[in-house]
Chain A
Amino acid sequence: MNPFNRYLKTIWQIFKKDIRVEWRGRQGIPVMLVFALLIVFLFNFALQLSPDLQAELAAGLLWVALAFASTLGLNRSIASERENNALDGLLLAPVDRSAIFFGKSLSNFVFTFLVALILLPVFSVFYNQNMLNLRLIFIILLGLGSYTSLGTLLAVLSIQTRARDVLLPVLLFPLALPILIAAVESSRLVLGSHPVSDYQSWLFLLIAGNILFIGVGLLFFETILEE
């Protein structure tokens, strides 16, 4: 098998394993989903949103819910590798270690994206506007892509500390801020039926975020894990 196929196969294998673990334990997606919904309700009452404000703020609320909920999924995903030290098992395998980063990022990304897809119809009902919009889904793909790759790296980093998973949001949120701003703004403009030219700068920012954070993950994943 040529090295490239081997690399892809390793990513796929880790992804497949994570799906199986998730299917058995159901500790990631359902928890994220319920938490996201709770945030929606909490915001509704905390901010006492009037109907016209709701429509305006739906994009922001969606991203706040996703940003918070995904930290639970990220922590869970890395905790499953820490239990029984399975991460050592991955590191022992004769594979390029960056493939482990890609595999874990991929499963975190897919799980969070699934949560987002389930949230969209719910938001459509709650905020009385159609959010099942292909452009919005594209933006969610871009936003979550960079958010979960940075999140995966920082989750692996924080699990090495004494504070463990508590640390993740503190490290992740300030660094992910530009991504979240870009995601919120472009989602808001898409939902307001603005032309692409109004939000293309945000799309570029999201693409830049993907390149940057995937690159950072490739560069530092092994450094973080080596003892």
Chain B
Amino acid sequence: MINKPKLLTVFDILTALTLLGALALILFWTPVEITMGPVQKVFYFHVSAAWAGMLAFVAAGAAGAGYLITRKLHWDWVSLSAVEVGLVFGLIAILSGMIWAQPIWNTWWVWEPRLTTTAIMELIYLAYFILRSSLETPEKRARLSAVFAIISVITVPLTFFSIRLFRTIHPVVIAPGGGDSAFSMTPCMLRAFLISLGVFTILLVDLFWHRYRLAKLNYKNQTGEN
């Protein structure tokens, strides 16, 4: 258990290579968008990070259900790891969104539905960590966190819908053209975009795997098992 599995090392290398590949692809082989200029290239990783974050949160909710059904603590480690990795991806999505927003809309922050929903999701999952930190018994922590993770993931669509509805009623001066639909993608851009999505999914799985191992080791350390 203490030894890192070989497969994980292989996976690490694969992740690093594909990430570098995707970066090179975006930097050197995609066209520069006419109106936005080079900063548009942030978009590939921005949307991919948001996608990975969302995927992680859904996985956390599913793992929460897994815990409540089976009452096996490893589902709690899955849920915790997914939330933690998801938070990082959410943060990447928000920061890259801000980098994009600054030159395009001349402001660091726009109350655009996707960006706002991501920010609220970050707050929900920060609350998840506060909840965890105020519970000591592993079983109770697992049970209550699982409930919270499930409720969180089912309210996300409602939040997204409400913010989108809010936006359509209040047109803003600096119209956020709605992220990815703001410009039309050439086939080359689309290909790079899909590759980024795939690469970020691989990165998500890799980071999640590491975090899960950490959770498991931490548990074994506390219980004094080997």
Binding site for B on A (CB under 8 A): 150, 153, 157-158, 160-163, 167, 170-171, 174-175, 177-178, 181-182, 185, 201-202, 205, 208-209, 212, 216, 220, 223-224, 226-227
Contact of A175 among B124, B161, B162 (CB under 8 A): B124
Contact assessment for B162 and A216 in the assembled complex, using a CB-CB cutoff below 8 Å? no
Contact of A171 among B120, B131, B161 (CB under 8 A): B131
Contact of B134 among A163, A208, A224 (CB under 8 A): A163
For A212, what are the chain B residues with a Cβ–Cβ distance below 8 Å?
Answer: 154-155, 158
For B158, what are the chain A residues with a Cβ–Cβ distance below 8 Å?
Answer: 178, 205, 208-209, 212
For A205, what are the chain B residues with a Cβ–Cβ distance below 8 Å?
Answer: 158, 161-162, 165
Contact assessment for B130 and A223 in the assembled complex, using a CB-CB cutoff below 8 Å? no
3 closest pairs, A vs B, by CB?
A178-B162, A163-B134, A161-B134
What's the Cα separation between A205 and B166 when bound, in Å? Answer: 12
Q: Given the known A-B contacts A160-B144, A171-B127, A205-B165, are A177 and B159 also in contact in the complex, defined by CB atoms under 8 Å?
A: yes
For A163, what are the chain B residues with a Cβ–Cβ distance below 8 Å?
Answer: 130, 134
- B136 within 8 Å of A (CB atoms): yes
Contact assessment for A170 and B127 in the assembled complex, using a CB-CB cutoff below 8 Å? yes
Contact assessment for B159 and A185 in the assembled complex, using a CB-CB cutoff below 8 Å? no
What's the Cα separation between A167 and B159 when bound, in Å? Answer: 21
- Chain B interface, number of residues (Cβ within 8 angstroms): 28
> For chains A and B in complex, what number of residue pairs have CB atoms within 8 angstroms?
75
Contact assessment for A157 and B147 in the assembled complex, using a CB-CB cutoff below 8 Å? yes
Contact assessment for A157 and B148 in the assembled complex, using a CB-CB cutoff below 8 Å? yes
For B152, what are the chain A residues with a Cβ–Cβ distance below 8 Å?
Answer: 175
Contact of A162 among B134, B143, B169 (CB under 8 A): B134
Q: Is the interface of A mostly helix, strand, loop or mixed?
A: helix
What's the Cα separation between A201 and B169 when bound, in Å? Answer: 11
Q: Is the interface of B mostly helix, strand, loop or mixed?
A: helix
What's the Cα separation between A182 and B123 when bound, in Å? Answer: 19
CB-CB contacts below 8 Å: B80-126 with A:
120, 123-124
- B13 within 8 Å of A (CB atoms): no
- B68 within 8 Å of A (CB atoms): yes
5 residue pairs of the A-B complex, CB under 8 angstroms, read: A157-B144, A161-B144, A178-B163, A181-B163, A223-B143
Nearest chain B CB to A113 CB, angstrom units: 22
What's the Cα separation between A89 and B161 when bound, in Å? Answer: 41
Contact assessment for B161 and A178 in the assembled complex, using a CB-CB cutoff below 8 Å? yes
Nearest chain A CB to B62 CB, angstrom units: 15
Contact assessment for B140 and A227 in the assembled complex, using a CB-CB cutoff below 8 Å? yes
What 1/0 flags go to B173-205 for Cβ under 8 Å of A?
Answer: 000000000000000000000000000000000
What's the Cα separation between A158 and B131 when bound, in Å? Answer: 8
For A174, what are the chain B residues with a Cβ–Cβ distance below 8 Å?
Answer: 120, 123-124, 127
Contact assessment for A177 and B68 in the assembled complex, using a CB-CB cutoff below 8 Å? no
Nearest chain B CB to A8 CB, angstrom units: 26
Most buried by B among A157, A174, A185: A174
What's the Cα separation between A153 and B144 when bound, in Å? Answer: 11
Contact assessment for B161 and A220 in the assembled complex, using a CB-CB cutoff below 8 Å? no
